[in-house]
Amino acid sequence: MHPFTKHAGVVAALDRVNVDTDQMIPKQFCKLLTREGYGRLLFYDWRYLDGEKPNPDFPLNRPRYRGASVLLTRANFACGSSREHAVWGVLDYGFRVVIAPSFGDIFYNNCFKNGVLPVALADAEVDELFRRAEREGYRLSVDLEKQTVADDGGLRFEFQIDPARKESLLKGLDEIGLSLQHANEITAYEKKRQPRAEMHDPAGVDLTAATPR
Amino acid sequence: MPPQTLYEKIWDAHVVHEEPGQPSLLYIDRHLIHEGTSPQAFTGLKAAGRAVRRPDLTFAVMDHSVPTKNRHLPILDDTARLQFEALARNCRETGVRLFDMHSRNQGIVHIIGPELGITQPGQTIVCGDSHTSTHGAFGTLAFGIGTSEVEHVLATQCLVQFKSKTLLVRVEGKRPQGVTAKDVILAIIGKIGVAGGAGHVLEYAGATIRALSMEGRMTVCNMSIEAGARAGMVAPDETTFAYLEGRPFVPRGKDFQVAVDYWKSLAADPGAKYDRVVELRADALAPMVTWGTNPGMVTDVTGAVPDPNSFSDPVDRQAAARALEYMGLKPGTKLVDIPLDRVFIGSCTNSRIEDLRAAARVVAGKKVAKSLKQALVVPGSRVVKAQAEKEGLDKVFTAAGFEWRDAGCSMCIGMNDDVLPAGERCASTSNRNFEGRQGKGGRTHLVSPIMAAAAALEGHFVDIRRWDVDGAE
Ligand code: SF4
């Protein structure tokens, strides 16, 4: 995973509350087999008119947001479906930071697996950022080490983040690799508790022929 | 030790490794996978040269994109076909059990887990699907995860987890006739909001919850995620044990007794502390109908579409105005006056046998309204379908003008051909009324199975308390 330390970039403001992951990557694109190429699909139904023509009414299509890499939005962002495609879309579109008062729980987790930093700020702070983001070319600098969001107009907000999450993002850690360092403990746990998938009536259960019984 | 909640007991029993200030490594007892969110996980696993640690604890099923008719024919949707093939190949290569679309046990992942007894009290269960919270009805810690976490569980049978806060939702009182488990959970979400459970695991308790069947409890737990919660759960009791006994993956004989003794110890200790408590009276509830584009935008059927200006918070006001525009609704319109184009009875919220029985009782001997373009019944699993056919429910539905389909997610998400067309309005027993959820531009109203059935007959919502229907779950 890419580490995340600092980032500075243009802010794109999406003034909508409770944006769900169905909006971020609609279901038809959840049939793909890869993790790549979801940037073009992000906010698909909002972003495009028929024939993938950009919808001029959709905030992110404003020319001033071209090249934006910090997404500013409202509470409960990316709630709903667990689809990690939503984060893959955010990242591939070019966003490295998402700022909102709160996030959907699964999306928040998924961000950390993909090197995207979700920044939760107080409602009033987010309101202030929305006001400032009305200025064309508004930029924010985000420093994960210091846990700050700042602009060149003297604004500086601190944000909270769990220390363990922070470290894994700063170092771009391979979480699976880390967990596998505890393989002995996992084995010991399995011996002690023996979680078995009992199947008392295999004849009555219809598995695909290829699967072992 | 201080008194513990159900959540804390399950958590403690599954900690493999913990350090102060760090998230815990939690053991996962059952890992459910489906074609939609697993392919990239298997690809990642393979690329890193890692194996599936416990194929015996992993269960795969095809559900999201499966056709609900003519399943014997080749799959014309190439992207869906490739996903099915990838799942079958990944299961074959790693020894994971697969219920493919031709299995007699195929169905929506959250329907077949409980139905086969894969889901049991006290377990941890994860799946790359947010409605994994359904399984919490058994006193199970069950939650949805992303694809990277699917890969993590495949490789380690564990997950790195932060402890959630606990929220006790106590529901007391007798449900009035015509008020179902679906109405109870919609009322809870309406009360606490779509982010009201954020950061929390919900535990549902109180006489109303105790009186629900397992199927009703699953309906409630299913929609915990729609309140923003990580998971929802109900302490196991005699209703739970009776449901599980004899199911294929449940221990038998002496082993079953041993299991029940353990399951009985899971209920919260007297005096256990929750971070928050919410209370609700079920006897004051009426049947619920959503009017907007998230499940918290809900009111009872006697109500009207609200005026966005009635919301004090500017963000809520704007969201309501946007929702009404998308839904094509005017403030003040009575819910019973909203005409429908389609009705969908299905999804992991409401497609179990009791749901279909209750809906069938409503439609028996009647006809779907002429104004309706389609009325669809999609059983949650092939076992449900077979049982319903044994009871003749399929005939009741088809005689009334419903289509009777094969099992899958269907028009809950519209990943197969069962799509709600743009601009059309649907009464749906599913769990999400998000923009475009059932089809781009489609307008969804979430309701209970009996409300959906009655709405199909009348062509609009009705106060089913006035109908003499058996208010089953
Ligand atoms: S029925 Fe709907 S909510 Fe349930 S698993 Fe399928 S798509 Fe998800």
CB contacts, 8 Å: B50 with chain A? 176, 180
CB contacts, 8 Å: B80 with chain A? 31
- What is each CA distance from B269 to B122, B202, B260, in whole angstroms? 15, 16, 17
For residue A84, give both structure tokens.
């990690």
Ligand 1 neighbours, Cβ below 6 Å, are B 63-64, 108, 110, 129, 131, 347-348, 409, 412-413, 430-431
Question: Which amino acid makes up residue A195?
Answer: P
Residue A197 has a pLDDT of 79
Which residues are within 8 A (CB) of A30 and not within 5 positions of it... i.e. 6 or more apart? A83, A85, B36, B37, B64, B415
Complete DSSP assignment for A33-71: SSSS--GGGTTHHHHEEGGGEE-TTSGGGSGGGTT--EE
Across the range B84-110, mean pLDDT stands at 96
| A-B contacts (CB, under 8 Å) | 213
Q: How do residues B351-393 score in pLDDT, each as one tens digit? A: 999 999 999 999 999 999 999 999 999 999 999 999 999 999 9
The answer on pLDDT for B37 being more than 60 is yes
| C-alpha distance from B369 to closest chain A C-alpha (Å) | 30
Across the range B106-132, mean pLDDT stands at 97
Interface test with B, best of A25, A81, A102, A168 (most B CBs within 10 A): A81
In a domain, A82, yes or no: yes
| C-alpha distance from B176 to closest chain A C-alpha (Å) | 30
Closest CB from B16, B118, B146 relative to A109? B146
The answer on pLDDT for A210 being more than 70 is no
As a whole-number percent, the residues of chain A with pLDDT over 90 amount to: 88
Average pLDDT, chain B: 96
Asked whether the beta carbons of residue B415 and residue A30 sit closer than 8 angstroms, the reply is yes
SS3 state of residue B270: coil
Residue A213 has a pLDDT of 43
CB B337 within 8 Å of CB B363:
no
Residue A196: which pLDDT band, with cuts at 50, 70 and 90?
Answer: confident
3-state secondary structure string across B161-203: ECCCEEEEEEEECCCCCCCCHHHHHHHHHHHHCCCCCCCEEEE
Residue B257: which pLDDT band, with cuts at 50, 70 and 90?
Answer: very high
Pairing of strands B97-99, B425-428: unpaired
The answer on pLDDT for A118 being more than 90 is yes
Phi-psi map region of A208: left, alpha, beta (phi>0 left; psi -120 to 50 alpha): beta
Interface test with A, best of B148, B347, B431 (most A CBs within 10 A): B148
Answer whether B432 touches A (CB < 8 Å).
Answer: yes
C-alpha to C-alpha distance for A3 and A104, rounded to whole angstroms: 22
What was the ipTM of the complex prediction? 0.94
Helix axes B353-363, B382-390, angle to 10 degrees: 40
Chain B residue with the nearest C-alpha to that of A210: B92
Across the range B206-234, mean pLDDT stands at 98
Take atom 4 of ligand 1 and give the residue whose Cα is closest: B348
CB B9 within 8 Å of CB B2:
no
Across the range B147-170, mean pLDDT stands at 98
Give the range of the structural domain holding residue A20, as residue numbers without chain letter.
Answer: 6-180
Q: How do residues A45-92 score in pLDDT, each as one tens digit? A: 999 999 999 999 999 999 999 999 999 999 999 999 999 999 999 999
CA-closest candidate to residue A11, choices A141, A154, A123, A160: A141
Across the range B99-122, mean pLDDT stands at 97
In a domain, A168, yes or no: yes
Closest CB from B130, B151, B199 relative to A80? B130
Residue B468 has a pLDDT of 73
For residue B448, give both structure tokens.
């209970």
Ligand 1 nearest-atom number relative to CA B432: 3
Closest CB from B13, B149, B194 relative to A18? B194
Number of domains in chain A: 1
Take atom 2 of ligand 1 and give the residue whose Cα is closest: B412
Residue B275: which pLDDT band, with cuts at 50, 70 and 90?
Answer: very high
Angle made by CA atoms B235, B237, B242, in degrees to the nearest 5 = 135
Chain B residue with the nearest C-alpha to that of A207: B99
CB B122 within 8 Å of CB B14:
no
In a domain, A137, yes or no: yes
C-alpha to C-alpha distance for A28 and A82, rounded to whole angstroms: 15
As a whole-number percent, the residues of chain B with pLDDT over 90 amount to: 97
Average pLDDT, chain A: 93
Residue A198: which pLDDT band, with cuts at 50, 70 and 90?
Answer: confident
In a domain, A66, yes or no: yes
CB B64 within 8 Å of CB B409:
yes
Interval between CA B111 and ligand 1 midpoint (Å): 10
CB contacts, 8 Å: B24 with chain A? none
SS3 state of residue A164: helix
Chain B residue with the nearest C-alpha to that of A21: B434
| C-alpha distance from B470 to closest chain A C-alpha (Å) | 32
| C-alpha distance from A176 to closest chain B C-alpha (Å) | 6
CATH number at residue A10: 3.20.19.10
Closest CB from A179, A182, A207 relative to B103? A207
Closest CB from A186, A201, A205 relative to B158? A186
Q: How do residues B395-436 score in pLDDT, each as one tens digit? A: 999 999 999 999 999 999 999 999 999 999 999 999 999 999
Q: How do residues B139-158 score in pLDDT, each as one tens digit? A: 999 999 999 999 999 999 99
In a domain, A209, yes or no: no
Ligand 1 nearest-atom number relative to CA B63: 6
SS3 state of residue B369: coil
For residue A87, give both structure tokens.
């984060």
Ligand 1 nearest-atom number relative to CA B109: 5
| C-alpha distance from B362 to closest chain A C-alpha (Å) | 31
C-alpha to C-alpha distance for A203 and A205, rounded to whole angstroms: 6
Q: How do residues B293-349 score in pLDDT, each as one tens digit? A: 999 999 999 999 999 999 999 989 999 999 999 999 999 999 999 999 999 999 999
CA-closest candidate to residue A105, choices A70, A144, A147, A77: A77
Residue B30: which pLDDT band, with cuts at 50, 70 and 90?
Answer: very high
SS3 state of residue B430: coil
In a domain, A195, yes or no: no
Ligand 1 nearest-atom number relative to CA B380: 1
Interval between CA B409 and ligand 1 midpoint (Å): 5
Residue A200 has a pLDDT of 77
Which pTM value belongs to this model?
0.96
Asked whether the beta carbons of residue B40 and residue A83 sit closer than 8 angstroms, the reply is no
The answer on pLDDT for B471 being more than 90 is no
In a domain, A116, yes or no: yes
In a domain, A208, yes or no: no
